[in-house]
Amino acid sequence: MGLNNANPEDVCTPMEFYAHIKDLIKIETDLVDKRLNILLLIQGALMSAHTYSEVLSIKVGVIIVASLTTVTMFFTLKRNAYSIAFILRHWDLFLEGKNLRNTAFPPVWAGSVPVPDFFDKWDDMLFRRYGKYFNSYRTLPIMFLVGWVILLIIDAVQMILWILKI
């Protein structure tokens, strides 16, 4: 069996596997950053197209395109979060298999050891309670989608008022 077919957990030292996991995490977080930047760029362009358009059918079309890109980006960013969780799970399994503890290595995710204080405890409490709602891969697309729905409602009301000539 060649090295290419070998399981990295079997042939790597803990520090080599640590470096490998850290590189994988960096790649995934870079992807998330790029995708969030693309989301912001697309949403900004579509928002300006909606703002400067005076034709209602174009506004509605822009809202539909923006909503579709927002939903697509939401699921893409969610897949990135699952990939990061998958990588971190492999790190945990590796440590368990080698009978090592996480404290023997610097944190894979943050790159530094946090100093606990009052604000960390407060942040931990808030994160435990509301953290599942305030991840960047969830919050930004949902915020944009809500904004587009509000704009669609405003445009519908304007159209109804125009039809009634009020």
* DSSP strands (E only) in the chain: none
Q: Which of 25, 14, 39 is nearest to 100 (CA)?
A: 14
Q: Which residues of the chain have pLDDT under 50?
A: 1-3, 110-115, 119
The residue assigned the tokens 């435990």 is: 128
Q: Quote the pTM value.
A: 0.68
Amino acid identity of residue 144, one-letter, is: F
The residue assigned the tokens 């790159």 is: 111
CA distances from 30 to 26, 44, 134, 139 (A): 6, 21, 19, 18
Q: What is the pLDDT of residue 45?
A: 92
How many domains does the structure of the chain reveal? Answer: 1
Q: What is the pLDDT of residue 110?
A: 45
Q: What is the pLDDT of residue 150?
A: 92
Q: What is the pLDDT of residue 13?
A: 81
What distance in Å separates the CA atoms of residue 113 and residue 70, rounded to the nearest whole number?
35
Q: Range of 21's domain?
A: 3-164
* Residue 131 · residue 67 · CB < 8 Å: no
* Burial class, 138, CB count within 10 angstroms (exposed 0-12 / middle 13-18 / buried 19+): middle
Q: What is the pLDDT of residue 113?
A: 43
112 DSSP assignment: S
Q: What is the pLDDT of residue 127?
A: 62
